[in-house]
Structure 1
Amino acid sequence: MTSTSTSPLRRALLATSAAIGGLALGLLPLPVAAQAYPNKPVKVIVTFPPGGVADTLGRLVTAPLQDVLGQPVVVENRAGSGGNIGGDAVAKSPADGYTLLMSSGGLVSVNPHIYDKMPFNPAKDIVPVASVARVAVFLVVRKDLPVNNAQEFIAYLKANPGKLSYGSPGNGSSPHLAGEMFKSMTGTDALHVPYKGAAPALNDLLAGQIDFSFDPGIALPHVQSGKLKLLAVGSPHRAAIVPDTPTVDEATGLKGFDADSYFGFYAPAGTPAAVVTRLNTEINKILGTTAVKERINAVGGAAAPMTPKQFSAKADEDSKRFGKLIRERGIKGD
């Protein structure tokens, strides 16, 4: 009579077969969807409020980027503390390429100099992904200020020491540093009023609550409409959108005046190199398109595609340049 039970030998053979089959399955390549990046929405945290230059540049790139990646790229604004709030959120996010940072370069080249303690270490906790634009600042004044050029403005400042005020997107922002650089080089004095972004500063300039600013480009439409007066460009180079406007150097003889900053994307440290390379490649292609270059020029900037290594080197260069000014002027964070 044949037993219906499985013999020990048969059970062993079945177990071995199952193990071999499992091993074979494990050696098969993963499905393409599991290997590909991205396979879900990507979030971009912008370190300044809507309407500012960081937000404008971020959305300018993320719109075509989501078409290329085939996934939604969602922008989230987290302003405050000179970009530290948004930067900290990204630094503490999973290093998988699904949370990115869009910020001015000041987050990594300026903030370590002005904050005694930061919630994260920009040199270790985030990595550069792609530079987007070199952003100049524009010396603009309220329309009823009795000056018509930069030389007259300097004379007016000297005649009214400490009586004028200027706004910036926050302590340590490039417009703030431009203002301090200008005061230092001209021997003048004015009250700095920090805001949480360039847009709020612009609103108060338009309302006459402050007298001038080194604006990162969003004020230019109001210059064209006659609501503000543009006196000079705070860059070594004239801006394509206002080619007839002199640089501060040209207008005043303040040699070497350079308040340019570079805005771009970052990711949490440890993000796979292949993901960083893919994002850098796609963003640089977007920056090479005529439409995007023209839009960046329209806010007073210039497209500045770089490799991550080049972007990192530029941040190091700016850190040395601005660090000297910060120490001399005793600038501190919020």
Structure 2
Amino acid sequence: MKRILITGAAGFLGSHLCDKFISEGFYVIGMDNFITGDKKNITHLLQNENFQFIEHDVTEFVKIEGDLDYILHFASPASPIDYLKIPIQTLKVGSLGTHNLLGLAKAKKARILIASTSEVYGDPLVHPQDENYYGNVNTIGPRGVYDEAKRFQESITMAYHRFHGLETRIVRIFNTYGPRMRLNDGRVIPAFMGQALRGENLTVFGDGSQTRSFCYVDDQVDGIFKLLFSDYSYPVNIGNPHEITIKDFAEEIIKLTETDQKIVYKELPKDDPLQRQPNISLAKKLLGWEPKVDREEGMKKTFNYFKSLSYDELRKSEHKNFTKHIKR
């Protein structure tokens, strides 16, 4: 049985990856320090004989007993609210954390896949964005802590690949959504759905003409799985190329939730990207991958998940563990 370490295992995407690899016959070691992850995302796995959980901060030395075949590094704050509240931890997990895991991969002779992001493109001057675009990023702006953490992560990963011959893979993840997202984490979909469920008006930043492209979590996980077992070491975009303006998307959410909320407009945050759309030609050619779940179907599944949350969960606006780590 192949053994895989998944960091950020209690997070939205990490927990779905744990499910996927267990279903494919792997022994999964999940790792998380719960800075933004949630135990409830992996509770259903804790009694599974093919799952082991280790509570640990990957910015500290990572030790795993026994053989290890693969590593997926998904430990990182991933939403604006998170990385603006804990900027230093965000930089540390992208630098020190990645360095620790690359060292572990080297010691174990394991293949490692690094979770990068479309944010490496910044506020892009090229549209749609393909893997050859180097980006337009403000290194000292408030979003720079996340953008530069991920850009450094890619650089050190390629250095280990070139210098040590390490088997590496890099996925550039575009906006992904689905069950287990945290409400009020600053991302568009949970923010809109949370406001609709609470009877609040939907907040659109700027004039709403900026665009996003949303990929359902099952499609994202499938793309990551295929990339891990490919022979390609350079970054690959995994996302849904179907683009929509934020204003039109807010109107879709109002229709989906059958509420009568209005749209209110606020000032656009500094360096917020005006366009976000992946060019997935490489993923199609290399992996035979493209998204299958259309937005209407995915949004219904996601909304039903949010509707199932308790009243207290719906009202909660801040992760309980932030105060524990805020000074790091």
TM-score using structure 1 length: 0.32
Greater CA radius of gyration, 1 or 2?
1
Q: Which protein, 1 or 2, shows the higher relative CO under an 8 Å CA cutoff with sep ≥ 6?
A: 1
TM-score using structure 2 length: 0.33
> Structure 1 or 2: larger helix share?
1
